[in-house]
Structure 1
């Protein structure tokens, strides 16, 4: 999408990333009944120490519109990725910027990064019952459900494993 640029987050972006990530998860109803996950989402510094936090910025205003955390296996936030794979987590778009393609450019940036690193696949987990537009986005990018990667970190929080094979022709 034109008008958006994805770049690594800088420390000065962390407050905006924390605010928009928590706001996006709250707006989507994903923090109801959670036990401290909002604090994890807001701790951008720890995410940046454990992986790559990327931001989508409006080129005209410089405003941070969304963010995602890209991780490799064996790092603190990797949940699904195995050897040679990559994963992204905590993709969030400011509720005021939803519908502008921000999520798509962030997801594609993670796929591109995994490709650059020579990874064979990208994995993500999405909450069962997550908004249909998010599921459609991942489907359009070629992610497929891998039921063997489904899991539940807490009772009532069911996560579905999705995988994009980067070795496809």
Structure 2
């Protein structure tokens, strides 16, 4: 598996992978969040959009790292790293793609001096939570939040100095 920054030619595939990965957690094709998930061009230009490629070059996962100043940051405080929209193609789940992408983002954050990393998730995303816990994240309930009525996000934090 290879991790690399997304290129313009990848954007539609990344959007499709992200929507497929989140399909169990949306309200269906009319969910307004779908357009947000599909907005790969904005994520690529306003944050860092990373992809995981299989040996044959197929994009099998993606994650968005939100560096300081990015409008995609939601919950991080100054000096903290943040990522979001970790997505793995449903047909390759269980092969370590999500963990590999998360480790990559943690390394990028550490390289930027961000020893503390935060992220939000839906409570129902238990498979992702197991990855985060393996990587040293813990719940941070005081930063749980709701971006809109009926959507409740839980927050995780990892302090790299003690993980």
Using structure 2 for the length normalisation, give the TM-score.
0.94
Question: Does 1:64 find its partner at 2:59?
Answer: yes
- Aligned with 2:71: secondary structure? coil
Match of 1:158 in 2: 152
- Asked if the contact 1:72/1:85 (under 8 Å) is kept, the reply is no
Structure 1 residue 155, shift from structure 2 partner: 1.9
Match of 1:36 in 2: 32
- Aligned with 2:25: secondary structure? coil
Gapped runs of 5+ residues in structure 1?
A: none
Deviations along 1:71-124, one digit per CA (max 9) or x if unpaired, are: 024421111111111111101011111111100000000000001111121111
Question: Does 1:127 find its partner at 2:122?
Answer: yes
For 1:23 and 1:38, locate their aligned partners in 2 and report how far apart those are by CA, in whole Å.
Answer: 10
Instruction: Kindly tell me the number of residue pairs found equivalent between the two proteins.
Output: 162
- Asked if the contact 1:68/1:91 (under 8 Å) is kept, the reply is yes
- Asked if the contact 1:71/1:86 (under 8 Å) is kept, the reply is yes
- Asked if the contact 2:48/2:67 (under 8 Å) is kept, the reply is no
Runs of 4+ aligned residues of structure 1 deviating over 6 Å after TM superposition are none
Gapped runs of 5+ residues in structure 2?
A: none
- Asked if the contact 2:121/2:153 (under 8 Å) is kept, the reply is yes
Match of 1:19 in 2: 16
Match of 1:53 in 2: 49
- Asked if the contact 1:73/1:82 (under 8 Å) is kept, the reply is no
- Asked if the contact 1:89/1:124 (under 8 Å) is kept, the reply is yes
Question: Does 1:9 find its partner at 2:3?
Answer: no
Match of 1:117 in 2: 112
- Aligned with 1:86: secondary structure? strand
For 1:140 and 1:120, locate their aligned partners in 2 and report how far apart those are by CA, in whole Å.
Answer: 17
- Aligned with 1:161: secondary structure? strand
- Asked if the contact 1:114/1:122 (under 8 Å) is kept, the reply is yes
- Aligned with 2:99: secondary structure? helix
